[in-house]
Structure formats: structure tokens, C-alpha cells
Structure 1
Amino acid sequence: MISQKTFDFIKDISLNNNREWFQDNKDRYDDARENMLEFASALIKELSQTDPGVAEIDPKKAVQRIYRDIRFSKDKTPYKSHFGIGLSSKFNNKPDTTGYYIHITPGGSFAGGGYWQPSSEHIKAIRQEIDYNAAELKAIVDDKEYQKLFGDIRNENSLKTIPRGYDPAHPDVSLLKIKDFIGMHNFSDAALLKPDSYKTVADVLAKIYPLNEFLNNAIA
């Protein structure tokens, strides 16, 4: 589970986002990060029962750094006001591919996955797979349980016009116009504070697995 102390630390650092406060509260950060590592480890073990591709992921690599890269940002606050966990779905040595993401912050936690901002090469391959095999993708994203958890994937981020090379009258034009193949589900603080919250999150991420497999097959 996520500890209340972890939520408290995130809340406090969002109000005191400076190096002096962080150094004075370094022990709290260490405790919060250790809690996130324990959560990530349990989550990986649980999710690997559905997606074996995550089984060998090191929790220390999955839990993202709290330090912000401020080199090219107007926002110079040095720390994130959340903890993030990133898991590659299949191609663990490739950063730009399908996967899962868990975002932990008081009042705004969520988890989901898919493929955000595919490369031009990959988006072409995915659209080609949709052109050939749209029925498989529709069976995944139009499933009632999927839509209850994640909503309609067509409404997330789509092109205003049909991709080049495709007929505007294509029967699956709404799928071909998708730019980000993702699904995200919100979690309350209370849900994440429960002892078996890692199972709850893993159960939600398991519903993303078929989408990741469809996308992986397209770009393999």
C-alpha cells in the first residue's frame, strides 16, 4: 500500500519546493521512496501474472527520480510534487514503446498505460495494423469494462483530419486518427492506502495489457 506518510511528504514538498527544506526533510523523502519501492515491487510481481514482460523489471529503475530536469524549463522548482512508476511492457531496452505508468500524488493519483506519442515509424505501423485488423482493436477498446475504466480511446487525442494515404470514407477512420493510444484510471487516496492496493492497481493495469499486445504486435 501507499503510506499516509508518503502522501504527507508529497503534499509538504509541493508547498516547500526548495533545496533547503528538502535537505532538512531528507529522512522523510528516504522513507517515502522506500515505500514506493516496496509498492512497485509488489505491483510488478502481481502484474507479471498477466504480463510476463514486466517480471524482470528492477523496482529501483521503475520508480522515477523526484528531481526535476530544469535546464530547459521556465519552472525552476527542483522537485516533482508526485512519485511516478514507469514499466515497459515488452521491449525493456527501448524507452519509446508500450508500457504502464502509475502517478502518486494526494488527490490526483492515476494509473494506466498504452503508447503515448508513438514515433512516426511506429504510428505508421499501428495504423497499418488497424487498417488490416481493426476488429481486434475494437474488441479491446470497446469492451464495456475497458470503457468503464478508461473511457473511449477515440476521445483522448486524435487528428482533426484523416491520416495521409487513407480514404476519408474508411469504416474505422476514428481509430486511424488516434495519436495517443493510452488509457488512464483515477484512484482515490483511500483506495491506495488499503493494504492490497497494489493488487487493485495491478488489476486495472491488466486491462491495458491486451491494448499493449496489439500495439506491440504492430510495431514488432
Structure 2
Amino acid sequence: MVSERKRKAVSYTESDSDFMSDQEVRSTPVKGKKPITKKKNIGKRARKEILPPEDEDSESDFQNEQDDDLDEATEDEDEDKDQYNEEEEEQMTKPKTKSKAESKAKSKAKSKARPKPKVNIAGNTKKNAKTPVSSEEDDSDDQVFNENNVKKSRVVIPRPKGSPFADSISPNTLEFLAELAENNDRDFMRLRAKEWAAAKKDFTDFCSLLMTEVHQVDPTTRVEEAKHAVYRQNRDLRFSNDKSPYKRNLSASFSRTGRKFLDAGYHISIKPNNESMVGIGMWQPDSTRLANMRSGIIRHGNLLREALSTDALKEVFDGKFGTAILDDSDKLKVAPKNIAKDHPEIELLRYRSFAIVKRFTDEDVVSEGFLDKVMDVIEASVPFVAVVNAWV
């Protein structure tokens, strides 16, 4: 189906270059012949020939919405053409009762009103040629965001004597993340490109050491370049009301499926203001894995309880163990579907995720020996991860 905009263009191209109506074309004198004029029903005839059928739908607007790469220049040009075509249609649908001289004067005035292509210095015509912008205007855009526009973070990052240490995170990395939380935009990242590169390298180097240690205590984890374990910093904004372009933390995962983390594994997140953490287990598995997990609990729920009650875990979590250390943020309030409310393992069956979380202060993160503290949590959680992966 041809759109309304396209139908107008076709109607005009069928006439002469001055957009004259059929009647005006017939009234133009030819050598040796008298002009033929018809005064009856001129308006009705022109209207019938030019106006599009009323039962056709418009598709151009919809097609333009689907085209994400349409630039502003093209859109402006199309709008100008539509406005110009609508004015021509109004003029052509009116009855033509004026003389030949008046019609020629009109056509000349319209041709002058049309937008003319601009000519550059070389003599080549260019459509939508832009006027040169002064150097002062160019420089003004580059100077919009500078150090004076950076918002200072209120989070005070500790700096232990002798830092940064090889087995911990640099205080500069935490300071950069604290400022990013206050200035979460692309201008700030462009301004602090060197600081961002240094922070990413610092975290990647730490993850390289951590990956080697994790593989020694759990050989099922994948060994690869540390950069493949680190998550990208850009956020996915497609389904989020928060349009901040960057994450406020640095994170990485280690598992038998690598960073994809489809099964139970080990996750680390570095975030200022005492929000750094290490998470172990499996977060919100798909329906198949969740069904397999609940089936394993029904058959051998005691194995999962034993894996969560080791002496090593009790020491890491200050005496807590069992379901007390499981993350219950998405735990069901009632029994799952097709499971009795009085089932002996109903407490474990209500969990949607099977994960334990250990948090660290900023002082822990930047102090010497942070890698050992992380490994204490991971090594104590290996039996728990082994049980979950055996069931899913």
C-alpha cells in the first residue's frame, strides 16, 4: 500500500515541473494551434485526479518509527517536503478560473519559493549544506563539562599506610567508584578516562589472582583470562527506569560455566560505602534448574543442611549456619505449586535462590590480606556449591 506522503509525490511528478494542473497544461498554447479551454467543472475534475483514495492507510509514519538510524537532516527535509506538498495540493484542488498570465505568474512565484541547493566553494551543489560554525562555538561544547562540574563524593575512602597492596584493591579504585556514583554520565567518564583505565586494570589484576586461588580449592571452575570473568561497566537500559549509563560497582564471576554463571559459583562485587560483597551459590535459576533443585531437596534435604553447617562456615559467619545464612530476599511466602504446606522440607523448598553472601567494609577491601579474607569465605562454601551443582 502506498502511503499518503508517497501518493502526493506521485501526483506531482505526473504533472510538469512547475506543478501545473492538467487544465493548465491543456491551456498552454502550441505553435499553429489555438489553446483549448474548458471552463465547466474544472475544480471537480482537478480534485478527483489529485486527491488520494480515502480507504488507503498511511504507513510512512510507522516506517519512520522503525528506522532508528534516520538522521535529523533527513527528517527535516521530509517535513519541509510534506509541508510544501500540502500547500500545493490546496492550491491545485481549487477551481482554476484565472487567465494564462496569472497562472504563469503564480508558477514563477512558487518556483522562487522552493528551497534552492547551496553551492560550496568548489562549485558543487549540496543538499542541507550547513553554515560554518565559528571556532568559539566549537570550543564552547568541549568546555561544557570540566573539573568544576564534578560532584565530590561524601564517602571517605580509607588509605592504610603502604597501600595499595598486591592482594587488595587500591584506594584510588574505590575513590573513582565513589565519584562515579555522584557523576554517572558519559562526560565524567570521558574526563576521567585515565582513572577509569587504572581502576579497571587494578580490579582485573586482583581477579587474576583470585581466579587462580578459586580453581585450587574448586577445580570445577573455569580458568581463563581474568578480563573474561569481569562484567562490562555499561548498564542495560532497555527495561530500566534508571537511565544511568554505568554500574556503580566492579564485579566478576567464577564458575564451571565462567562469567555466565548458569550454575552455582562464586561472585565478587566491589562497591564503596561498605557495600562490597562475595556471593556464593545460584541466584534465581530457570524453571528446569529450580525444579531439579527442589527434587534434590525432597530426596536428600539433609545433604544441603550439612553443607551449610560446616565449622568453616560457622567461623566465617560468626556462628551462624544452615538456613540462617541463606539469602531470603526472594523467598516464597507460601509453599511452591504442587507441594504440600506441611512438607518436612518446606523451609528449604520455599527458597527461590540458593546463595550465601558475605559483606566487607571499605577498610577490609583496601587493606593487606583482603584476598585471604575472600578465599576464607569461598573455601568454606565449596561443599555447598558442590551439592547444588550435583542436583541442578
| TM-score in same-fold range (> 0.5) | yes
**Mapped partners of 1:174, 1:187: distance in 2:** 28
Report how far residue 80 of structure 1 moved.
Answer: 1.1
Question: Pick from 214, 217, 220: which aligns with 2:390?
Answer: 217
Report how far residue 209 of structure 1 moved.
Answer: 1.8
* Structure with the bigger percentage of strand: 1
**Mapped partners of 1:211, 1:134: distance in 2:** 12
Of 191-200 and 40-49, the range deviating more from structure 2? 191-200
Which structure is higher in RCO with an 8 Å CA cutoff and minimum separation 6? 1
Is the Cα contact below 8 Å between 1:162 and 1:168 reproduced in 2? yes
Paired position in structure 1 for 2:18: none
**Mapped partners of 2:259, 2:189: distance in 1:** 32
SS of 2:196's partner is helix
- 1:49 aligned onto 2:219: no
Summarize the alignment of residues 1-220 of structure 1 with structure 2, pairs less than 5 Å apart. Answer: 1-88=168-255, 90-92=256-258, 95-107=261-273, 108-143=275-310, 145-146=312-313, 149=317, 151-153=324-326, 155-219=328-392
**Mapped partners of 2:239, 2:338: distance in 1:** 36
**Mapped partners of 1:154, 1:74: distance in 2:** 26
Task: String of CA shifts for 1:72-114, please: whole Å, max 9, x gaps.
Answer: 22211111111111222x2348642211111101121111110
Report how far residue 16 of structure 1 moved.
Answer: 1.2
Give the residue type in structure 1 aligned to 2:252: I
Give the residue type in structure 1 aligned to 2:264: T
1:6 to 1:92, Cα distance in 2 relative to 1, 3 A: closer
1:137 to 1:192, Cα distance in 2 relative to 1, 3 A: same
Report how far residue 139 of structure 1 moved.
Answer: 0.6
1:83 to 1:112, Cα distance in 2 relative to 1, 3 A: same
Structure 2 residue runs of 5 or longer lacking an equivalent are 1-167
1:94 to 1:29, Cα distance in 2 relative to 1, 3 A: closer
Structure 1 residue runs of 5 or longer lacking an equivalent are none
Give the residue type in structure 2 aligned to 1:167: A
Of 179-188 and 60-69, the range deviating more from structure 2? 60-69
Is the Cα contact below 8 Å between 2:282 and 2:354 reproduced in 1? yes
Is the Cα contact below 8 Å between 2:278 and 2:359 reproduced in 1? yes
Of 206-215 and 129-138, the range deviating more from structure 2? 206-215
Is the Cα contact below 8 Å between 2:222 and 2:258 reproduced in 1? no
SS of 1:52's partner is coil
Give the residue type in structure 2 aligned to 1:113: I
SS of 1:122's partner is helix
1:210 to 1:14, Cα distance in 2 relative to 1, 3 A: same
Give the residue type in structure 1 aligned to 2:219: P
**Mapped partners of 1:141, 1:152: distance in 2:** 8
Give the residue type in structure 2 aligned to 1:106: P
Report how far residue 3 of structure 1 moved.
Answer: 0.2
Larger Rg: 2
Identity across aligned pairs (percent)? 28
The CA RMSD measured in Å over matched residues stands at 1.9
**Mapped partners of 2:340, 2:312: distance in 1:** 31
**Mapped partners of 1:18, 1:124: distance in 2:** 41
Report how far residue 204 of structure 1 moved.
Answer: 0.8
Please, what TM-score do these two structures have when normalized by structure 1?
0.91
Please, what TM-score do these two structures have when normalized by structure 2?
0.53
